[in-house]
Chains A and B, each alone.
Chain A
Amino acid sequence: MTTDPPDYLHAERGIRSWLLTSDHKRIALMFLVATLLSLALGGAFAMVLRTKLLEPGPWLIEPITYNRLFTLHGVVMVFMFMIPAIPAVFGNFMLPMMLGAKDLAFPRINLASFYVYLTGAALALWGMIHGGADTGWTFYAPYSTSSPTDVAPIALGVFVLGVSSIMTGLNFIATTHMLRRRGLRWHDMPIFVWAIYATSIIQVIATPVLGLAVSLVAIDHAFQLGIFNPALGGDPVLFEHLFWFYSHPAVYIMILPAMGVIAEVVPTFAKKHPFSYNALAYSSLGIAFVGFLTWGHHLFVAGISQFDAAVFGVMSMFVAIFSAIKVFTWIGTLYRGSITFNTPMLYFFAFVYLFAFGGMTGIAVATTSLDVHWHDTYFVIAHFHFIMIGGTLTAFLAALHYWFPKMFGRMYPERWGLVSAGLVFAGFNLTFVPQFLLGNAGMPRRYYAYPDRFHVLNVMSTLGAYLLGASLILTLVYLLISLRWGKPAPANPWGSRSFEWRSPSPPPVHNFVEPFDPRKGTYAYDEPPPDEVPAMERT
């Protein structure tokens, strides 16, 4: 554009400059492409599953194909989309910018984490082409260690994807500690950084346990050592403990960054300092730590002791309070603001409703006696899809629209954004509200064939899934069009005070033309704006 440093998209040309880049922004974009492909793959599996469920009896696919597809849907969505989606894309892009750093602490480890991710994804894909495991993404032993399908490639893929997740987390922790711009104190950091930091702690501590658990399953499947098989002296419930020790905190790996996104969107569009900065910042850490003490609520009907059930039950109530703190503070932030209602805000509104409802049904299933009826039924499916789709995917879309001008230097079409956000919300509810009722009625999860009395609700859910899928495709289409033909974006189209907007759009290779002044706070909407125009546009 000008003689000033070129933006990161045009600084270098050629495929090598992308594949061998150590620029966190380019790596973030490569992660964006990879996770969107994963979302499309996992979504396609979901569409086949839902189509099968249009009919109660056998049709379309064989039971074993169905079982493989729901396993792959889970593995792809959890390990290849949800976990890296926000941290490795938006965390990667925004964390150094929000801290005023030129890059992450370990740029080459960042690039390596992308290739480790690709390796893990390739292993899992190879396993899929090879037939695919039919164990469910939960790999419960001893079924997983005796399944007739090939468990090892998928388990190994999950293991390698976990390594990538740990590398990302370590990088973020080191960056937050070491690369904050001079004068930027912890309590000056944007809330998103706190959320990503808390997520990274979970990734680093919990993921090794998952790696251990899935490798033991793969080894057990291959050599029949009997680690989890009681016929050979093992214990299947031990696997459940190991698995959920990771996989419950993993839920927070998926939702905490989403909460961080919302905590940026709300102040920006309400032009308002958060209702309570400390509440938002420390509740993320609270979730990260207390989240480690709740895994047993997945085992209420697995034969754990009454004492265990009591402890895990009450810890689950405590972890829920941190989520309540966040919802309360976001809504409080709107009070006396100056609110612009656009696509990210519509996604925020959808997020509050869906996440709050999903979270409250989490309280419901953490209530021990109620869980006995709901456990492993569609109620649980609906509950965690409310959190994962209604929460994380909604926030992912909010982030994509909110940071789109910064990342690509183009605006998206607002009207299309609002329409598709509305459709996503409608399609989502039509898909998953019937699933709550199916769970109440007693339909178990992972059911290829079901009794006729569940037919009507299943048809509704499938139609909702089609609508949800179509609106996501619509979103992708107009965003792709805007990449090229969108209106050029100014440096700070939303009038945000946050640090990343004090750089041109798209940012130069080293993120800032001039260092920003962290004393002009990231949420200081009660003070006159900092010298808004970055150097690049001034010349």
Chain B
Amino acid sequence: MNELLRRLLHLPEQRSSIAIGIDTLHYTVILATMAGVTLAAAVAAVFLFRYRRSSSAIPLTPRVVAPLWLEVGVYGGLLALFCAWWVVGFRQYREIETPPPDAIPIYVTAKQWMWKFAYPAGPTSQDALVVPVGRPVKLILTSRDVIHSFYVPEFRLKQDVVPGRAEMLWFEATEAGTFDVLCTQYCGTRHSLMRAQVIALSGADYARWLDAARAPLTLPGAKGDGQGLAERGHQIAAERGCLRCHTTDGTRFIGPTWANSFGRTRHTTDGRDVLIDEAYLTESMMDPRAVIAAGFQPVMPSYQGVLTPAETSAIVEYIRSLRDVEPVRTVPPPAAPLAFPPPAGTPGGNP
């Protein structure tokens, strides 16, 4: 029933702890509305037909005054119904507005036209909010310039982000996945492109992500114009946060490893085998949800508009360079997933 109505009304999936309750009230209100309006229009149509005039002569009609009991009954009944919705709706509103005490705080800064997320533990990210599934998260939001609004349709939640104020929004994601963050308060030229993503990870993945994100990045030889394209790609991948999910030493992490991947075929969730080549890698960065590697969650944010074409090709070149990496045979969680990989061209491993 829920699924049928949800699809009929074009509602997105319910991915927060409060979504089901809100949708249930939504169905009640909308179905009652449609029934009530249809009833009113049907009665009007019946009257229009039943009391139509057939002759050209105008007869006198009786003066019928609405009996008081009917008026009081109809209006009182409607008011009671509306107030019942108000009571239920306001209770839900209070739940939305009151965060549980153990919620994880995350600081959100909006500005034209991007979202920045800062975790108390230190890491920051841009346009991608990583949260754990099944734990309440409290966002503390502020704006650097004009009013924005933080909206996640799958969570049924929204909060205006007002400059000079700290607003609050809490939620608990119920399933792993990636959800769009849309700005709903008009904020200027690129308002419609002010998008970010919420990446909900299972508890273990979240812990690993947090560890990885906290680890300092050490990039030997990061400077200098003479660096090769692959080296530059490595640097960009580290800066853009790619290496927080993708390892370069063959270990499986939130995303597939990059080591020894180029030129191979990959099994996907829709049962195909795709060749990992320049086209595939570029598409994966720009439209990550087009093809999902089997065994992984569709959680990668899009880098469309974030990476320039030159940067994209540098990253592709870097992945191509990771061909002869000695695979890690044991599979403990990587002590430092961001550790610099062996330089490309080191002998050994599978060709």
Q: Is the CB of B71 within 8 A of A276?
A: yes
29 A-B interface contacts by CB (under 8 A): A67-B189, A134-B189, A142-B147, A230-B162, A230-B164, A235-B164, A236-B162, A279-B66, A300-B93, A309-B93, A334-B48, A336-B51, A339-B48, A341-B48, A363-B33, A370-B25, A370-B29, A372-B157, A372-B158, A373-B153, A376-B184, A440-B9, A441-B11, A444-B149, A444-B182, A445-B186, A447-B191, A457-B10, A526-B60
Kindly report which residue of chain A lies nearest to residue B30, judged by CB atoms: A364
B44 adjacent to chain A (CB < 8 Å) = yes
B193 adjacent to chain A (CB < 8 Å) = yes
Chain A residues whose CB sits within 8 angstroms of the CB of B165 once the complex forms: 230, 237, 303
* Cα separation A332 to B67 with both chains bound (whole Å): 11
B1-25 interface bits toward A, Cβ cutoff 8 Å, 1 = contact, 0 = none: 0000000011110000000001001
Q: Among A303, A525, A529, which residue has its beta carbon within 8 angstroms of that of B167? A: A303
Given contacts A272-B61, A337-B51, contact A367 B86 (CB under 8 A): yes
Q: Is the CB of B29 within 8 A of A335?
A: no
Chain B residues whose CB sits within 8 angstroms of the CB of A364 once the complex forms: 26, 29-30, 33
B22-46 interface bits toward A, Cβ cutoff 8 Å, 1 = contact, 0 = none: 1001100110011011001101110
Q: Is the CB of B9 within 8 A of A444?
A: no
Chain B residues whose CB sits within 8 angstroms of the CB of A318 once the complex forms: 79
Q: Is the CB of A231 within 8 A of B92?
A: no
Given contacts A272-B61, A372-B158, contact A339 B149 (CB under 8 A): no
Q: Is the CB of A230 within 8 A of B163?
A: yes
Stretch at the interface among A38-46, A244-252, A354-362, A416-424: A354-362
Within 8 A of B (CB), among A437-467: 437-438, 440-442, 444-451, 457
Q: Is the CB of A142 within 8 A of B145?
A: yes
Secondary structure dominating the interface of A: helix
Q: Is the CB of A271 within 8 A of B29?
A: no
Please indicate which of the listed interface residues A270, A330, A338, A366 has the most CB atoms of chain B within 10 Å of its own CB.
A338
Q: Is the CB of B75 within 8 A of A352?
A: no
Q: Is the CB of A63 within 8 A of B10?
A: no
Q: Is the CB of B188 within 8 A of A356?
A: no
* Cα separation A531 to B150 with both chains bound (whole Å): 66
Q: Identify the A interface with B (CB < 8 A).
A: 63-64, 67, 134, 136, 140, 142-143, 146-147, 229-231, 235-237, 270-273, 275-276, 279, 300-303, 306, 309-310, 313-314, 317-318, 320-321, 324-325, 327-332, 334-341, 345, 349, 352-353, 356-357, 360-361, 363-364, 366-370, 372-373, 375-377, 437-438, 440-442, 444-451, 457, 495, 525-529
* Cα separation A136 to B186 with both chains bound (whole Å): 8
Q: Is the CB of B51 within 8 A of A140?
A: no
Nearest Cβ on chain A to B260's Cβ, whole angstroms: 34
Kindly report which residue of chain A lies nearest to residue B191, judged by CB atoms: A446
B217 adjacent to chain A (CB < 8 Å) = no
Q: Is the CB of B163 within 8 A of A368?
A: no
Kindly report which residue of chain A lies nearest to residue B180, judged by CB atoms: A451
Given contacts A440-B10, A442-B151, contact A370 B60 (CB under 8 A): no
Q: Among A337, A372, A375, A437, which residue has its beta carbon within 8 angstroms of that of B47? A: A337
What 10 pairs across the A-B complex have the smallest Cβ distances?
A230-B164, A442-B153, A369-B92, A367-B89, A334-B47, A368-B93, A360-B33, A376-B184, A444-B184, A143-B146
B159-172 interface bits toward A, Cβ cutoff 8 Å, 1 = contact, 0 = none: 11011110100000
* Cα separation A341 to B151 with both chains bound (whole Å): 47
* Cα separation A234 to B58 with both chains bound (whole Å): 65
B264 adjacent to chain A (CB < 8 Å) = no
B234 adjacent to chain A (CB < 8 Å) = no
Q: Is the CB of A338 within 8 A of B51?
A: yes
Q: A134-B189, A324-B78 are in contact. List 20 more A-B contacts (CB 8 A).
A: A67-B186, A146-B145, A230-B163, A270-B51, A271-B61, A301-B158, A309-B90, A328-B75, A335-B64, A338-B61, A364-B33, A367-B88, A369-B89, A376-B185, A437-B9, A442-B12, A444-B182, A444-B183, A450-B192, A451-B180
Chain A residues whose CB sits within 8 angstroms of the CB of B159 once the complex forms: 301, 303
* Cα separation A131 to B36 with both chains bound (whole Å): 46
Q: Is the CB of B193 within 8 A of A449?
A: yes
* Cα separation A324 to B156 with both chains bound (whole Å): 29
B223 adjacent to chain A (CB < 8 Å) = no
* Cα separation A325 to B78 with both chains bound (whole Å): 10
Nearest Cβ on chain A to B302's Cβ, whole angstroms: 11
B239 adjacent to chain A (CB < 8 Å) = no
* Cα separation A271 to B22 with both chains bound (whole Å): 46
B279 adjacent to chain A (CB < 8 Å) = no
Nearest Cβ on chain B to A12's Cβ, whole angstroms: 36
* Cα separation A142 to B36 with both chains bound (whole Å): 41
B329 adjacent to chain A (CB < 8 Å) = no
Nearest Cβ on chain B to A294's Cβ, whole angstroms: 12
Q: Is the CB of B162 within 8 A of A370?
A: no
* Cα separation A336 to B52 with both chains bound (whole Å): 9
Chain A residues whose CB sits within 8 angstroms of the CB of B157 once the complex forms: 372-373
Q: Is the CB of A445 within 8 A of B51?
A: no
* Cα separation A134 to B112 with both chains bound (whole Å): 15
Nearest Cβ on chain A to B13's Cβ, whole angstroms: 11
Q: Is the CB of B47 within 8 A of A352?
A: no
